[in-house]
Amino acid sequence: MQHDPNDRAKGRIERVIADLVGRRSVWIVLMAVAAGLPLAKAYSIKLPPTPAKIRQIPNFTLMDQDGKPFGVEQLSGKLWVANFIFTSCQTVCPKLTSAMDRVRIRAKNMKGAVQFISFTVDPATDTIAVLDQYAQKHHARGDWNFLTGPVESVRNVVIDGFRIGMGPHNGAAPVNEQKESALESQKSNAAAELLSAAHGAQLVLVDKDMWVRGFYNPDKEGIDRLMFEMGLIANLEGVDLQGLDPTVPNKPINKHK
C-alpha cells in the first residue's frame, strides 16, 4: 500500500505544531501572521477551526487521592483531559495511564491551565488509599487527580456525562435490560456498567465550560491530535494563562512579592 507524500508531510507539520502547543509566543506569531498581513492575505496562515462541542458534563463532586472533594468547581476555567481506569486492570489501563503521563509532559508549558483527571470505574475497590498509592507509583501530583466516590456518583459522570462504556461487562446484560426491582441488583448493574467503561480506552478533552471536545486513542497519532486541538482551544477560546510567568516555563507568578 502506497502512502500519499502530501499526507505524510501534513502529519509531520501537525506533530511539530503539537509539540509547540504550550508555547504562547508561537501562537502569537501564528495569529499575527494570519490577521496582520492584509496585503498578503492569500499567503497568510489560516488556522483550522477548534473542534466542535460534543456534550456538556453535568455538575459533579467526587473525592481525589488526597481525600479532598474535587469536581466541576476545581476544574472551572481550565482545559482538562480525562481517562477511565481501575487500578487492578492489567490490559488497557496501564496504556491509558502511560498516555496520560505523556500528554502531561508534552503540555508542561501550559501547566496551571490544564488539569488531568483519571476516573476509577471500580470505586468499590479503588478507595482513596488505593488511588493514593497508584498516584504515587506514577508520580502524579498537583495537576493530575485520581477520582473515586459512591458507585452511583461515579456512574453519573462517567456513563451519563461522558456516555462511555454502555456495553455489557463479563457477559452481563446492559443495565436497561436488567431487572431493577432490588437495590442490590441496581448497585451490581451500575458497578458492572462502570467497569465496561474502561474498554472505551480513550482520552477525552474537555474545555473550560465542561464541554467534551474530542476523544483520542492513546497512541502517538491520537496524542498528537489531542495536543494540536488542545492548543487551538487554549489559544483561540481564551483559556486563562495569566497565572503563568511568561519568562519561566511552568513557574506560576508570585502575586505576594
Query: Which residue matches cell numbers 468499590?
Result: 124
Q: Is 58 helix (H, G, I), strand (E, B) or coil?
A: coil
Q: Is it the case that residue 8 has pLDDT exceeding 80?
A: no
Contacts of 207 (CB under 8 A, 6+ apart): 53, 79, 213, 233, 237
- For residue 232, give the C-alpha cell: 487551538
Domain 55-221 CATH superfamily: Glutaredoxin (3.40.30.10)
Residue 164's pLDDT is what?
76
Q: For residue 98, what pLDDT band results from cuts at 50, 70 and 90? A: very high
pLDDT digits (tens, 9 = 90+) for 173-200: 333 333 333 344 455 566 666 665 555 6
Residue 111's pLDDT is what?
77
β-pairing, 211-216 vs 55-56, is antiparallel
Residue count of the chain, please give it.
257
Residue 235's pLDDT is what?
85
In a 13 Å sphere around the CA of 175, the CA atoms on its Cβ side amount to: 19
Q: Is it the case that residue 119 has pLDDT exceeding 70?
A: yes
What's the average model confidence in pLDDT over 117-145?
93
* CA-to-CA dists, residue 32 to 7, 29, 46, 228, 244, angstroms: 27, 5, 11, 19, 21
β-pairing, 79-85 vs 114-120, is parallel
| pTM, entire model | 0.70
For the chain, give the percent of residues with pLDDT over 70.
61
Q: Is it the case that residue 210 has pLDDT exceeding 90?
A: yes
Query: Which residue matches cell numbers 503540555?
Result: 107
Domain map (residue ranges) of the chain:
55-221
State the average pLDDT for the chain.
75
